[in-house]
Amino acid sequence: MKEIITSIENQKIKNIRKLLENKNILKEKKFIIENDNLIEEAYKNEMLLEAYALIDYDNYLNLDLIYVSEKVMKSISDLKSTPKIIGISKIKENNELGEKIVLLDNVQDPGNIGTIIRNCVAFGVDTLVLSKDCANIYSKKVLRSCVGMIYNINIIIEDLENIIPKIKEKNIKVISTALDATSEINQINKDKYAIIFGNEGNGIREELIEKSDMKVKIEMSAKCESLNVGVSSGIILYNIFRGKHE
Amino acid sequence: MKEIITSIENQKIKNIRKLLENKNILKEKKFIIENDNLIEEAYKNEMLLEAYALIDYDNYLNLDLIYVSEKVMKSISDLKSTPKIIGISKIKENNELGEKIVLLDNVQDPGNIGTIIRNCVAFGVDTLVLSKDCANIYSKKVLRSCVGMIYNINIIIEDLENIIPKIKEKNIKVISTALDATSEINQINKDKYAIIFGNEGNGIREELIEKSDMKVKIEMSAKCESLNVGVSSGIILYNIFRGKHE
């Protein structure tokens, strides 16, 4: 007979509910994940701390499950339809700076952050640095749009002003994307770079542009002023990545 | 003394309310637009049919306004905070096929469609064809994410099966984006192309891939399976656009 947690006042369950609030995620250094795909990724990456499931969940990964009643599951999920399983994932703690770095300055849309993570993994970026005022990277909206890629990259949350000197110490050039730029994407060193992408409405803060070693722009028709930040990051990272092979 | 519509039962106001439902937009061939930027674009493009404003609206474009009370404005907007102005825009009717064409097969996310419109305008695409099962292109979510670019491109809503023979008659190659593709982006003819992008989860329907003259893929790390469709379209269109100048 399997034991089932049926009380929403159970201490474990209360602790999970805390993680529904973004502010507690960074404090507790863990986050809720909600679909098979993401739970599988967490498991494979040895980041899965616990998994809570309904009694009829098809445990195809043979996970060590904690069973809960439907009422309890409802209390720890904010999805419209109650999931059959939720997992608790560790936050990957690796503050090491690689040599292929993307920095985000106050990016606010969780969908954009998820898309950028996906682009980074697709095109070989090893480190993603988010300024503290970016949207929460461990929120469900980000997790949904990055389709499980979150374990494939080092994530650092830090003021960009603090991290830029460390990048320069490593002899890596800091690059801003700016409309008045004069450099082209193909002038970026393919093996070592740190590229900043800015806020959706305001772009990169002036102080950070001033600290950059190089400014690049994406050539486009005069009819269009700017691109979505997920798209710009995709175009720049793809062209750096492909430059290698040519 | 300016005349102000104060009744939400006024016939004009009732007609506008119909446009809050997507299904009526295509039937009536007009759509609601909600911010200064978009209203300015509609006006400059001679697509603005009417504009409804609160009495204290700063009419900097010197538009021929119809004044309404705040209650009436609330009834014709579904924004959280009542706007000071809304416009009614014509749908640009131009079914002419250009020579730089993007086709969307069942793209469902309005944000993705808006991003793709922006990419198309940025990189010189002249015609955007949407299959009838795509998300409504004149919905507010699309309009928000395409930042006023909707007037800068021919838009055709048609079954892709019907439009592909017409494209081929014009001697334009139909290109699919597919994971098992063997062709590279730089093999695409820069002056004449028709590229299909597919549904977020399922990609392009098999029947359409079979009808294509060429399949291209975006090279990426093995860690990542696929990109967001807004990003893929940006990467492919940018690289075709830039190819021209090199």
Which of B122, B220, B234 faces A221 most closely, judged by CB atoms?
Answer: B122
Interface test with chain B among A35, A226, A227, A244, by most B beta carbons within 10 Å: A227
Contacts B221 to A, Cβ<8 Å: 121-124, 241
Cβ of A228 within 8 Å of Cβ of B118? The answer is yes
With 60 as the cut, is the pLDDT of residue B244 above it?
A: no
| pLDDT interval class at B160 (50, 70, 90) | very high
Give the H or E element holding residue B89: strand B85-90
CB B107 within 8 A of CB B76: no
Is A227's CB within 8 Å of B220's CB? Answer: no
Residue ranges for chain A with pLDDT beneath 70? 1, 244-246
Radius of gyration of chain B (CA): 20
List residues of chain A with CB under 8 Å from any CB of chain B: 111, 115, 118-119, 121-124, 145, 147, 149, 152, 218-221, 223-228, 230-232, 234-235, 238-239, 241-242, 245
Mark yes or no for CB contact A221/B149 under 8 Å.
no
B220 interaction partners in chain A (CB closer than 8 Å): 122-123, 238, 241
Closest-CA distance, A242 to chain B, in angstroms, reads 8
- Nearest CA to B30 out of B13, B16, B45 is that of B16
The predicted model scores a pTM of: 0.90
Smallest Cβ distance to B221: which of A124, A147, A219?
A124
DSSP category for residue A175: E
Sign of torsion, CA A186 A131 A114 A149?
Answer: positive
pLDDT of res. A35? 83
What pLDDT score does A26 carry?
A: 85
User: What pLDDT band is residue B1 in, cutting at 50, 70 and 90?
Assistant: low
CB contact under 8 Å between B245 and A121, yes or no, is: no
| B42-85 per-position pLDDT tens digit | 999 999 999 999 999 999 999 999 999 999 999 999 888 899 99
Tens digits of residue pLDDT in B104-142: 999 999 999 999 999 999 999 999 999 999 999 998 888
Cβ A122–B223 below 8 Å, yes or no?
A: yes
Pairing outcome for strands A85-90 and A48-53: antiparallel
pLDDT at A178 (0 to 100): 82
pLDDT over threshold 90, residue B35: no
Q: In which order are the strands placed within the sheet that holds A65-68?
A: A4-5, A65-68, A48-53, A85-90, A30-33
How far is it, in rounded angstroms, from Cα A115 to Cα B229? 10
Single-letter amino acid code for the residue at B188: I
3-state secondary structure of B180: coil
Q: Which of B235, B236, B239, B244 is the best mutation test for A, with the most CBs of A within 10 A?
A: B235
Task: Give the pLDDT of residue B245.
Answer: 44
* DSSP codes, A40-100: HHHHHTT-EEEEEE-TT---TT---EEEE-HHHHHHT--SSSPPSEEEEEE--------SE
Q: Which domains does chain A have, with CATH numbers?
A: 4-90 (3.30.1330.30), 100-243 (3.40.1280.10)
Q: What is the pLDDT of residue B131?
A: 96
